[in-house]
Every structure is written in structure tokens, then in C-alpha cells.
Amino acid sequence: MIMELTGVNDQLEVYDDRILIKRKNMKAKFSGDKTIYLNQISGVELKKGGGLFAGYIQFSIPGCVSPKNGLYGAAHDENSVVFNKKYNDIAEEVKLKIEDLIKNQSKASNPTSNDPDILRKYKQLFNDGIITQEDFDAKKKEILGL
């Protein structure tokens, strides 16, 4: 475990490749632990707590509809963790860490450096007739950052 965030009824644990939402209150709407792999997460929303209201961190996953009605929606969303405002700073650190892990994971699985060997491999795929000229040109622009 890299980081953790204590929620009102949940515990959020961050690992290198996933997050784990542990439910503390077995009488809550959602019970049991939920694992979400980083490659499943398309967005992380953080709303800091303040005044009378708690904050929340909510994870967007393709194919799942996340409630958009603020704290009430987050409290009823299995992909969210509601926390007290005293954990605002930790929640922000957790959000940044998760986004950084997602970005690094994406780079590792989809190399786009200007390494000539990568470009040569795509050129060979084009020469072998496996990919089209358009595919090669698009990948070339991506690799060279054009």
C-alpha cells in the first residue's frame, strides 16, 4: 500500500496498480471491499470538505454512470469515498498520486518516446502490409510528438 485515506464509512487504499475501497459500515448501501484497477479509471474528482459539509473523492469508470449531484450523489456512489474536512490535504495528495500512477502506467503501456527503434518497428509493420500508410503516419506523428 502506498497511501490511504480514512473516510466517514470507508477506507481508501492506494496501490501501484489499483485502489481498494474498504467499507467499514456493513449496514451501508454498499458493503464489502471494492477493487478498481488504475487502467479502469478515466477520471478522479475531488471535492474538499468545508463548513458543514464533508468532502469526497469520486472515481469515473467507463460504462458506469457517476452521480452528478455533489456530496449526496457521492455518498450513494460505490466508486466514491466521503471524508471529513480534516482529511482535505490527505485527499488532495491521494488524488494527485492516483493521477500520477495512471499517467505513468499509461506511458509504460503506450510508449510514445522519439526512440527510433519504435518508429522502425512501425515502419516494418507498414512494409509488411500489416498497417496502412495512414496508420503509420499517425503513429509517426504520435511518436515524434508532432
CATH code, domain carrying 59: 2.30.29
Q: Is residue 93 domain-shared with residue 143, that is, in the same domain?
A: no
Query: What pLDDT is attached to residue 49?
Result: 96
What is the domain extent for residue 42? 3-109
In this predicted model, what pLDDT tens digit does every residue of 10-33 receive, in sequence order? 999 999 999 999 987 655 566 789
Q: Indicate the pLDDT class of residue 135, thresholds 50, 70 and 90.
A: confident
Alpha carbons within 13 angstroms on the beta-carbon side of residue 140 total 13
Do residues 81 and 66 lie in contact, with contact meaning Cβ atoms separated by under 8 Å?
A: no
pTM: 0.70
Helices (H) and strands (E) in the chain, counts: 4, 7
Residue spans of alpha helices (H) in 76-114: 88-109
Same domain, 93 and 144: no
Q: Look-up: residue for cell 472515481?
A: 59
One domain, residues 101 and 129? no
**Interior angle at CA 38, CA 33 and CA 41, nearest 5:** 90
Shared-domain flag, residues 77 and 140: no
| Residue 110 pLDDT | 59
Q: Are residues 62 and 15 in the same domain?
A: yes
Q: Residues 32-84: pLDDT tens digits?
A: 899 999 999 999 999 999 989 999 999 999 877 767 778 888 888 899 999 99
Confidence of residue 117 (pLDDT cuts 50, 70, 90): confident
For CA atoms 92, 97, 100, 105, the dihedral sign is negative
